[in-house]
Structure 1
Amino acid sequence: MSIELRHFRCFLAIADTLSITRAAERLHLTQPAVSRTLRQLEQSLGVHLVDRSTHHLALTPDGLSFRDRAAVAVASFDRALGYAHRTAWPLRLGHAWAGAGTDTTTLLRRWHEEHPATPLELLRIDDRTAGLARGEVDAALLRGEVSAPGLITERLTTEPRVAGLPADDPLAHRTTLSLADLADRTIAVNTVSGVTSLDLWPPSARPASTITIGNSDDWLAAITGGRAVGVTTSATAEMHPHPAMAYVPLTDAPPVPVVIAWRDGPGHPRIPDLIALAHEVMGRG
């Protein structure tokens, strides 16, 4: 049996919902049809993608590995259909927060001037790879170390870390802070796309309290609302100023690398031009 796109869509629906029933509802199919399509895919690949031995359906290691590749294939197919009748092929650049920092406007305008036939779309996607691993974008500006399989990265620059505090916090008017100054506070940690974890602090002096955040908007709200303080990079201060927020440089926190990433393999033909321009505009270290 040959594998068809419907097999990929069926598997992705199961992977997203972790339920045969909900996948069937999403695809407007019967449960037996979804189970049969999954079984056909597994037989053709020669691996088990889904563990159905427990009460809760889960992806196997092979299923987890195959999920992103299937998502890239489906996204590429859908995108090809979507642009079939257009003359321009947009280049999608993902980011999880802060874009290219203060270089964002320069990067976008330079691209428009030098490559007017290829629109550059800057897309914020709350994901560790800003949608790159799942084929939602062609390239991504990412912060921190990125080790997702199938991705290539090049460092563009580094950004210093800063503390994010409510503007009326007693520490907000300091010119600099250390990590120890925040150790007795509740720390807002973006576990989806952030670069801050308790590992920044020495084991003997780590903050005892954290709240989990999923995106930069919620991070800002938690801090300006007085629930927590945070650690981020200078790009956040530059791109997300807020009258109720103060950003204070941290003297003892390591800088954060900023990389441009793309998938290994065939991709948008203008990716090399984007990489070159990003180095030219942002490359400072």
Structure 2
Amino acid sequence: MTTSGRNVTLRHMRVFMEIVRQGNLQRASQALNITQSAVSKSLRELEQELGVVLLKRGRKGTTLTPAGEAFHEHAAQSLVTFSRAITAARDPGQEREVLRIGALPTVAGSVVPRAVAALKARRRDVGVQIMTGPYEFLAGLLRGGEQDFIVGGMIKRDNVGLSFEPLYEEEIVAVVHAAHPLCAEPAVTALGLSRYPIVVPPEGTTVRGLVDDYFLASGVGIGSDWTEALSDLFSRVYTRDQDAVWLAPRGTVEFDLDQGTLVRLPLHSRLLRVPVGVTFRTDTAFSPLGLAFLELLRGEVRLRVRADALIDDPS
């Protein structure tokens, strides 16, 4: 039976979005502060009104059906638009454009802050929201309409509906504390690194794959003493306090290098380069504000690449 969907309300969409966010009806009811039966009733009404099944229930929670995935994508956009409409109505004089950027640690401390500063110098009336975290987390926000785009590397798995524009290649560097024994070495090799504790991202990440390839191509293993860490704070403190070597994109440790809390070892390899760019949804066009920021970002990237070239070849 085909239905019009005219009776779908914001309550239906909010309950549905919370079920998806929480993964099951019980946690959704707790988050919404309503009974589980009320959550179940709202979901049932929504599915009956649309004439489709949106969620499948199982022992491990709820999963989206293809119809549910399509509805989720557009429902997220609708709720964001509705929230902005309320803000505009309540305080029209204060409403302003907001750019929502997902920034991976690779760029959160380097090109993105400079591009944001350039944008704010031109448009002080706009707002900028920066969210950082693992790629999968940011990609989920992007798919849900809660981010405009992601700046950083791109994980090649599960990228349906997303597109990637490469901007430059970021070098993966080896950093240590200033008194580390390797600082006295004129050159650092994979064998030399393997003799010390290594801090690397977890398996499955782009950076970890490149690091593993580097050690494999060098004919040595990564060593027996290695620590996987997604936390930059942990990696930073551990490397500062131990004789460990942290292998990370340069942008991730740029602040530490500028402050002198960590130093870079003389390690260079074409294998240790990770592509950095912009990830965006293929079904959504950039706003004028987004386009303005991206142009400024590309300008910062050109300056960075030019400066790197001068360092590599000062002549």
Q: TM-score, normalised by structure 1?
A: 0.78
Q: Deviations over 1:122-167 (max 9, x none)?
A: 5132131644334333233112445633333322221111013344
Identify the match of residue 220 of structure 1 among 236, 259, 282.
236
In 2, Cα distance between equivalents of 1:244 and 1:210: 21
Residue identity matched to 1:153: F
Q: Deviations over 1:151-195 (max 9, x none)?
A: 333222211110133444322444553444444555434459964
SS at match of 2:182: coil
Contact 1:96 1:193 in 2 (8 A): no
Identify the match of residue 208 of structure 2 among 192, 197, 216.
197
In 2, Cα distance between equivalents of 1:38 and 1:178: 59
Contact 1:73 1:135 in 2 (8 A): no
RMSD: 3.5
Identity of aligned residues (%): 23
Residue identity matched to 1:250: L
Alpha carbons of structure 1 residues 256 and 198: separation in structure 2 relative to 1, 3 Å: closer
Alpha carbons of structure 1 residues 249 and 80: separation in structure 2 relative to 1, 3 Å: farther
Tell me which residue corresponds to 1:81: 86
In 2, Cα distance between equivalents of 1:269 and 1:46: 36
Residue identity matched to 2:276: V
In 2, Cα distance between equivalents of 1:124 and 1:192: 23
How far is the alpha carbon of 1:107 from its aligned partner?
1.9
Contact 1:101 1:238 in 2 (8 A): yes
How far is the alpha carbon of 1:274 from its aligned partner?
1.8
How far is the alpha carbon of 1:48 from its aligned partner?
4.7
In 2, Cα distance between equivalents of 1:134 and 1:192: 26
Structure 2: gaps (5+ residues): 307-315
Tell me which residue corresponds to 1:262: 280
In 2, Cα distance between equivalents of 1:213 and 1:70: 35
- 5 Å-filtered alignment, 1:133-282, equals 133-145=143-155, 148-174=159-185, 176-183=187-194, 186-191=197-202, 195-198=206-209, 200-202=211-213, 205-208=221-224, 210-226=226-242, 229-241=245-257, 244-252=261-269, 253-263=271-281, 264-266=283-285, 268-282=287-301
Q: Please tell me whether residue 113 in structure 1 is matched to residue 121 in structure 2.
A: yes
Q: Deviations over 1:92-143 (max 9, x none)?
A: 2231225365444542332233334434x25132131644334333233112
Structure 1: gaps (5+ residues): none
Q: TM-score, normalised by structure 2?
A: 0.72
Tell me which residue corresponds to 2:36: 31
Tell me which residue corresponds to 1:4: 9
In 2, Cα distance between equivalents of 1:135 and 1:192: 28
SS at match of 1:196: helix
> Max radius of gyration: which structure?
2
Residue identity matched to 1:57: G
SS at match of 1:219: helix
SS at match of 2:117: helix
SS at match of 2:135: coil
SS at match of 1:137: coil
Alpha carbons of structure 1 residues 18 and 118: separation in structure 2 relative to 1, 3 Å: closer
In 2, Cα distance between equivalents of 1:211 and 1:45: 50
In 1, Cα distance between equivalents of 2:191 and 2:134: 29
Alpha carbons of structure 1 residues 237 and 70: separation in structure 2 relative to 1, 3 Å: same
Contact 2:135 2:155 in 1 (8 A): no
Alpha carbons of structure 1 residues 164 and 4: separation in structure 2 relative to 1, 3 Å: farther
Tell me which residue corresponds to 2:312: none
